[in-house]
Structure 1
């Protein structure tokens, strides 16, 4: 009898201890932290990556951060990531009062790597970088979990890693903030879509804009008021935040992190803070062997490719021989060999585009034309389309999920307020001087 009472007492003690652990949130052992590698164009042409990096570091207790790769288009470098980690280190004492699981800053510094700096040439890859090699190293680690590769800029390092070690496709899941980044990284994208269609990929061309657009949020959560209500005066990271868009919330890359914070990331078609997506069986790709005109309609976010004939030159393939100017921006065109030249472009919005070519080669100089891009992506089927496999996902196409002209953005905007209020609680952890706005 005494033995039974003793066993019962032990069991009760164990149950109470487990209940306490669950209540305190320490039962996270039951759900392993996602393995995470970020490829970011921080410090490049858009300051929003600084905002997103601050957000990521404020949730560093929720992830196994295995890589931070600087893959910029522009002047950004690895040092920009290290500068953000320095700010994080200053706030770490306060953060750890609320969660001891925050990552040691030196551990983060060790996984910072420099990735590709120039955009990929026509082939879609160039040479290995510290960043692309690190993607391979992390992907090949023995783990029961996939490596989540969140791409906030160009796909250059991902494309290089897949070229150098295609077997890593079985180990990684990619969430890519496309849209404008697709323009800058169009050759790397074309390489991946053509040669690695079996990659597990979320291609978010517009869904992420549901976090930027604040039309459905209350005044205190508007992009231009969240800083003054919840961030100002809170820690070293809060003091830095004002330097990017004057503190206005943009963070176009953050939905990739939010996707892993709330929802079931193994199911892209479900609901999450980072959006809901649909499987796609093709990715729009149109080849023009002539100058296109206003009668040529393509999908927004499609890959457009113009092929021109010119002289046969004794120069290496992938040599830049002309430029295509459209929308006030300039895109390099390449020699393919055998008197063929090509340039790719991806429109980031519905538009009537006008282009002109410039070259010292007479046959390539002054070519001009138009195209019309329309929503939704991927649009009508075409003979040149890329054919992704069964694990490639894109923005929801139903009209009900459009936010204005932004395809799929409602699947994020629906959760914008909940997401920001959760983040606001963490900013409170860094507040020293009195009460914070609710």
Structure 2
């Protein structure tokens, strides 16, 4: 009898152990599936070299994410080759990284999801034609998954706008963290299309918060933007060797807060604490329309969309044809024919400023128009009749004065986590030593 009882106990113990092991394996599998699904849309290789730094950071944390797409959405000369060059460096360091985590993706798997996006900025209507990048966003968004697809916009907005135009139903499947500011300035037409036609998009629009990543007035001396390279990056792997080529190794990585938002904090709650900042719900996006030249008596919110519209001859050319330029501080924005003798151009000031503009055109009525404007914080500022009305899932930079760093709205919600984030990254650089 005792033998029977013993055998029975062993049997049930074995069954219990098998069940527990299965549960553990199930939980491990479930944990693996909770890696955030991401697509990065980047202007790497374009006008600002900070995307190279952010791409190196992404690859060093690639075990933490399901990277479904790396889209080149450039302002300037950036192309997919710039992403591929970074993956080549990652491949050289991969054996050292894998000693610490088995979750790093194969280099060829990353190369397979590199796609070329829009090369030119969108015209006035905000979209043009499908690209390899915009189609890839749609394809990934349509995958069956219990998770949303996070579209992290580091560069141009054009591919996101095109994807939403071509497949508006994907809005229910994606969440967007958009690095605005200068990107909004260059991609103002694509932004305007998104805000006007897809206000129900789940969106974090970070126009200034991200700047807390590289504004370090209170950082310990060992992790200031200039000191971090020498203390923690220099001499560590192929990626560390390459890092010096961008801002001489000074830390900027202005796009990285979008990724950091998914690394520490609850991404379902933009109003909470996270490495990528804290945000506030907004129900409108500022837009000012002027049917005349402006003066310093005209005040607009920083990061708002400003439209100047002019009258001129009725031309036998397609609407959305570029036919004049707006010159602000030596930078040029194309202006477009809107039809019926109407012309328009958009601009988004990226900082608090008193600005002036001049127009240039072979059309005499549009040539030499001049004016000034004043942009002020905070954004979105005072309500206006032409503001874009947004849905309930659009979030912007925090407006409390105590969360500003200088004139940068909400930046302290990122800078407060800077030391913790950078020291976590320093540990990974040790892996490459």
Normalised by the size of structure 2, how large is the TM-score?
0.96
Match of 2:328 among 322, 326, 329: 326
Match of 2:104 among 102, 105, 111: 102
Displacement of 1:29 after TM fit?
A: 1.9
Alignment deviations for residues 310-354 of structure 1 (CA, whole Å, 9 cap, x no partner): 000000111111111112211110000100000000000111111
Partner of 2:53: 51
Distance 1:309 1:355 in 2: 17
Match of 1:405 among 397, 404, 407: 407
Alignment deviations for residues 151-191 of structure 1 (CA, whole Å, 9 cap, x no partner): 00110000000011111101100000000111100000000
Distance 2:21 2:327 in 1: 68
Match of 1:209 among 183, 208, 211: 211
Displacement of 1:401 after TM fit?
A: 1.1
Matched residue of 2:284: which SS? coil
Distance 1:14 1:417 in 2: 43
Distance 2:109 2:374 in 1: 48
Matched residue of 1:343: which SS? strand
Matched residue of 1:208: which SS? helix
Summarize the alignment of residues 35-114 of structure 1 with structure 2, pairs less than 5 Å apart: 35-114=37-116
Q: Give the gaps of 5 or more residues in structure 2.
A: none
Matched residue of 1:261: which SS? coil
| CA root-mean-square deviation | 1.8
C-alpha distance 132-17 of structure 1, shift in aligned 2 (>3 A): closer
Matched residue of 2:388: which SS? coil
Partner of 1:384: 386
Partner of 2:246: 244
Partner of 2:311: 309
Displacement of 1:11 after TM fit?
A: 5.0
Alignment deviations for residues 248-288 of structure 1 (CA, whole Å, 9 cap, x no partner): 00000000000001111111111100000111000000000
Distance 1:156 1:30 in 2: 32
- Establish whether residue 270 from structure 1 lines up as the match of residue 272 from structure 2: yes
Matched residue of 2:194: which SS? helix
Alignment deviations for residues 77-133 of structure 1 (CA, whole Å, 9 cap, x no partner): 000000000000000000000001100000000000000001000010011100000
Distance 1:404 1:217 in 2: 15
Summarize the alignment of residues 284-295 of structure 1 with structure 2, pairs less than 5 Å apart: 284-295=286-297
C-alpha distance 187-402 of structure 1, shift in aligned 2 (>3 A): same
C-alpha distance 159-421 of structure 1, shift in aligned 2 (>3 A): same
Distance 2:247 2:30 in 1: 36
Partner of 1:149: 151
Partner of 2:260: 258
Partner of 1:340: 342
Alignment deviations for residues 376-423 of structure 1 (CA, whole Å, 9 cap, x no partner): 000000000001100110000111211111100011001000000000
C-alpha distance 141-27 of structure 1, shift in aligned 2 (>3 A): closer
C-alpha distance 396-84 of structure 1, shift in aligned 2 (>3 A): same
Partner of 2:31: 29
- Establish whether residue 162 from structure 1 lines up as the match of residue 169 from structure 2: no
Partner of 1:422: 424
Distance 1:367 1:335 in 2: 16
Q: Give the gaps of 5 or more residues in structure 1.
A: 432-438
Match of 1:126 among 125, 128, 135: 128
Alignment deviations for residues 11-69 of structure 1 (CA, whole Å, 9 cap, x no partner): 579779989x99xx968727610001000000000000000000000000000000000
Partner of 2:179: 177
Distance 2:364 2:145 in 1: 56
Deviates more, 1:324-333 or 1:380-389: 324-333
Match of 1:393 among 392, 395, 399: 395
Distance 1:27 1:198 in 2: 33
